[in-house]
Amino acid sequence: MSVIGQSIKTQRRWTALWPLALFIVVATVGGILLWQHWSSILYESIGWQRDVNRRMSGLLKAVADNPGRAGGSLLAFSFLYGVLHALGPGHGKVVIATWLATHPSKLRSSIALTLASSLLQGVVAIALVVVVLTLLELPARQLHLTGAWLEKASYALVGMLGVLLCVRALKTLRRLLRRPTFKAFTPHHVHHKHCGCGHQHVPTQDQLQSGDDWRARLMIVLSMGMRPCSGALMVLLFSKVIGVFGWGMASALAMAAGTSLTITSLALLVHSFRQLAVKLGGNKAPVLWRQIGWTTLALAGGAVLVMAAMVMWMSAAAPVQGLRPF
């Protein structure tokens, strides 16, 4: 009877893994399809961006003629543009997904990161147009050049964030591996974490989560939000030319709100899968092994950010006429 019960228990344990298996299959198939059709996707996205720009220009002209009638349509279209625009490839999604997948973080703080970074992206676009075109009275080409430098600065911040996470993970691993090695013997008495012996047997949860402080969160927000949205720059530039800059700023903020919705959805998805992985892992492995495993994952996440920053920095094209598809 015990053998049958053990078999049923094992079967239920494997059955509970179906969400993780489904995610792995979907992610693998999606990655292969994306790799195979990337060129066509990029070509179609450029055409889509051109059509959206024409539609946005038409709405801005309509707002200039009748703001009360066309203003709502402009804001709704800008919000939808932000939602769809954020679905494309971008370093912000790499940063937030890597951070949430490799570091323990509360759901509320994760959502706050995405909201702050999206809002900052809209504010940076507005400030860039105001400073370059209004205060300094420089040509529009300088606007795109400055935006390109801000983009490279955001890539540099991604690399710095990756280095910071790697250093902290290595320090934590060193602290964990300095513990005495396990020996195959049966002790006369066993210490636990609340035994009151005056010794710290394992690092506390606060110590393990030391990477989740204001410095790391600030670098995440800046690296994601420092790069101004190309669509927002286009709207702000055209709205300033036709004399409806106030509506242009409102449109840029609506885009930021749409972007935050998409990025927040991604953050919720990654956070949920991490919680699922923690739950499925349970307490089957010793505490020290689990801590070493998660810290090694954090080290890998930092390395991914460093490599991604290097690739994005080297592949950043010089600003040319027109707008980027993403």
Cα dihedral 313, 319, 324, 326, rounded to 10, equals 30
Torsion sign over Cα 276, 282, 284, 288: positive
- On the question of pLDDT at 321 being above 50, the answer is no
User: Residue 18: which pLDDT band, with cuts at 50, 70 and 90?
Assistant: low
What are the φ/ψ torsions at residue 320 (nearest 5 degrees)? -130, 180
Is the per-residue pLDDT at 117 higher than 80?
Answer: yes
Lowest mean pLDDT among 121-125, 211-215, 316-320: 316-320
What are the pLDDT digits (tens) for 127-146? 999 988 888 878 878 887 88
Residue 12 has pLDDT above 50, yes or no: yes
Q: Given the structure tokens 């707008």, which residue do they identify?
A: 323
d(CA 141, CA 135): 15
Average pLDDT over residues 187-192: 50
Q: Which residue has the higher pLDDT, 229 or 193?
A: 229
Q: Report the pLDDT averaged over residues 45-69.
A: 81
pLDDT band at 214 (very low <50, low <70, confident <90, very high): confident
Comparing C-alpha atoms, which of 111, 79, 124 is closest to residue 229? 124
Query: Does residue 15 register a pLDDT over 60?
Result: no
C-alpha to C-alpha distance for 235 and 94, rounded to whole angstroms: 26
Mean pLDDT, residues 146-150: 83
| Alpha carbon distance 313, 67 (integer Å) | 41
Q: Would you say residue 41 has pLDDT above 80? A: no
| Amino acid, single-letter form, for residue 170 | L
**Mean pLDDT for the stretch of residues 158-164:** 87
Q: Tell which phi-psi region holds residue 190, choosing left (phi > 0), alpha (psi between -120 and 50) or beta.
A: beta
Give the SS3 label for residue 212. coil
User: pTM of this prediction?
Assistant: 0.71
Q: Which amino acid is at 167?
A: V
Q: How confident is the model at residue 250 (pLDDT cuts 50, 70, 90)?
A: very high
Per-residue confidence (pLDDT) for residue 57, from 0 to 100: 83
Compute the distance between CA of residue 293 and CA of residue 115 in angstroms, rounded to an integer.
30
Tell me which amino acid residue 270 is.
V
Q: Which residue has the higher pLDDT, 76 or 182?
A: 76
How many Å apart are CA 5 and CA 309, to the nearest integer?
A: 51
Number of other residues whose CB lies within 10 A of the CB of residue 12: 9
Is the distance from CB of 323 to CB of 234 less than 8 angstroms?
Answer: yes
Q: How confident is the model at residue 249 (pLDDT cuts 50, 70, 90)?
A: very high
In the chain the first and final C-alpha atoms are separated, in Å, by 61
Tokens of 100: 């949430």
Neighbour count for residue 112 (Cβ, 10 Å): 15
Residue 209: CB atoms within 10 A of its CB come to 16
| % the chain with pLDDT above 90 | 4
Q: How far apart are CA 162 and CA 159, in angstroms?
A: 5
Confidence band for 104, pLDDT divided at 50, 70 and 90 = confident
Alpha helices in the chain (DSSP H): 2-15, 18-36, 38-65, 67-85, 91-102, 107-129, 140-177, 205-208, 214-225, 230-242, 245-281, 287-315
Would you give the distance in Å from CA 95 to the centre of its chain?
4
The answer to whether 271 and 107 have CB atoms below 8 angstroms apart is yes
Contact between 289 and 177 (Cβ < 8 Å): no
pLDDT in tens, 265-306: 888 888 777 777 777 666 665 666 667 777 777 888 888 888
CB 305 within 8 A of CB 95: yes
Mean pLDDT of the chain: 75
Contact 178, 291 (CB under 8 A): no
pLDDT of 322 strictly over 50: no
What is the mean pLDDT of the segment spanning 163-191? 68
Domain boundaries along the sequence of the chain? 50-179+206-315
